[in-house]
């Protein structure tokens, strides 16, 4: 067994869970954080259901992004950190600081503790939300050189939290990082096999289609990446010498229209496809609805705009080769149907 130990923060999460599965399969010793050790049995059960190959290679530690308590113990003897944990709540929130403060302060807290523990490298899970929001709609191809314009249109609290957290991480490294190395990965909309009974990431789009929660397709275009490829990219960013000090955008390829996503869902859902929509909703209807609905208001800035995202750097530096977006959509669909959790997306 590979005796290198990796700490994965937020072990109950969607991306973190897939990172754990991939790390253990590759022979790493893995420790993961949860806010309370009461969560350990449930997380173990989910990972076992997903095919965890060596359960003894996984251990747990209690630590929270909002407190220094527990991080020194969690990082004891650790070689690498995948800092995946961060609050996720796209759209309108009552208090933006509920997302921003734990994301930003938690990233710096983990980096400081990792530096003090002698960790070699931290890979921070950022997001395309830290790159591609608040900009004019044009033919620009987004790369790692871009940052979200926080004062631009369409930037929600989640986008602010990811942008401010990643900026804070790089600022910490420049001022106090010492010998610690940092790399960041920035996935677009993440889909793929669900873990347990929870639906996370862009899998909510698929669930909403299956449940009837999306009666028609808005004119939105979504760049997609498979969660399994996101997990691979984390490990490549952790181990590739040239990844230190770099950002990596993760996208499978060009953005897909919602109606294209719907067609793939329908193809793979079998009998569960009955409520997947077949018609589109005109932009004018969405714009009128935005006058009365915060949900519609969040759609307006990106109507008809397919953001272009380059994955060239991840391919070149990491040797990363993502599967097609259709594979991620198909895996999300079949796993949602198989787990019987394709029927409650409309309420989420």
Active-site residue numbers? 162
Q: Which of 158, 255, 91 is closest to 148 using CA atoms?
A: 158
The token duo for 204 is 């909510």
Quote the strand ranges of the chain, DSSP E: 5-8, 29-34, 58-62, 80-83, 121-125, 141-142, 181-187, 189-191, 221-222, 224-226, 247-250, 256-257, 308-309
Whole-angstrom distance, CA of residue 282 vs CA of residue 261: 17
Q: Is 143 helix (H, G, I), strand (E, B) or coil?
A: coil
The Cβ of residue 215 has, within 10 Å, a number of other Cβ atoms equal to 12
Cα–Cα distance measured from residue 218 to residue 201, given in angstroms and rounded to the nearest whole number: 19
Nearest CA to 19 among 121, 109, 124, 102? 124
* Tokens standing for residue 166: 């990643």
Inter-residue long-range contacts of 294-300, CB under 8 Å, 24+ positions, other chains counted: 294/91, 294/92, 295/91, 298/91, 298/92, 298/154, 298/156, 299/218, 299/220
Distance of CA 100 to the CA centre of its chain: 16
Q: Per this entry, what is the length of the chain?
A: 348
CA angle at residue 144 from 107 to 171, to 5 degrees?
Answer: 35
Distance CA 120, CA 113 (A): 12
Question: Is residue 66 classed as helix, strand or coil in its secondary structure?
Answer: coil
């Amino acid at each position: 067994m590979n005796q290198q130990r990796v700490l994965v923060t937020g072990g109950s999460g969607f991306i973190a869970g897939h990172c754990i599965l991939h790390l253990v399969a590759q022979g790493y010793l893995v420790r993961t954080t949860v806010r309370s050790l009461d969560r350990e049995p449930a997380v173990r059960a989910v990972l076992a259901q997903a095919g965890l190959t060596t359960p003894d290679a996984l251990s747990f530690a209690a630590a929270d992004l909002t407190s220094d308590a527990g991080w020194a113990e969690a990082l004891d003897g650790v070689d690498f950190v995948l800092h995946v944990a961060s609050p996720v709540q796209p759209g309108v929130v009552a208090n933006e600081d509920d997302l921003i403060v734990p994301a930003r302060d938690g990233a710096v807290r983990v980096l400081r503790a990792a530096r003090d523990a002698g960790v070699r490298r931290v890979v921070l899970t950022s997001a395309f939300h830290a790159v591609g929001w608040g900009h004019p709609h044009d033919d620009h191809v987004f790369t790692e050189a871009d940052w979200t314009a926080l004062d631009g249109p369409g930037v929600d609290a989640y986008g602010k939290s990811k942008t401010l957290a990643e900026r804070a991480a790089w600022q910490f490294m420049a001022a106090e990082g010492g010998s610690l190395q940092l790399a960041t990965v920035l996935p677009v909309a993440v889909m793929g096999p669900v873990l347990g009974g929870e639906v996370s990431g862009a899998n909510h789009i698929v669930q909403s289609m299956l449940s009837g929660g999306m009666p028609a397709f808005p004119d939105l275009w979504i760049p997609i990446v498979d969660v399994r490829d996101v997990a691979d990219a984390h490990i490549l960013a952790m181990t590739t010498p040239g990844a230190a000090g770099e950002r990596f955008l993760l996208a499978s390829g060009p953005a897909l229209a919602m109606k294209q996503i719907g067609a793939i869902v329908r193809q793979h859902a079998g009998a569960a496809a009955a409520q997947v929509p077949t018609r589109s909703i005109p932009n004018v209807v969405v714009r009128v609805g935005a006058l009365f609905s915060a949900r519609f208001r969040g759609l307006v800035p990106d109507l008809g705009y397919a953001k272009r995202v380059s994955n060239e750097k991840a391919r070149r530096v990491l040797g990363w080769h993502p599967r097609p977006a259709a594979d991620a959509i198909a895996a999300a669909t079949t796993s949602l149907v198989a787990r019987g959790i394709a029927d409650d997306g409309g309420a989420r």
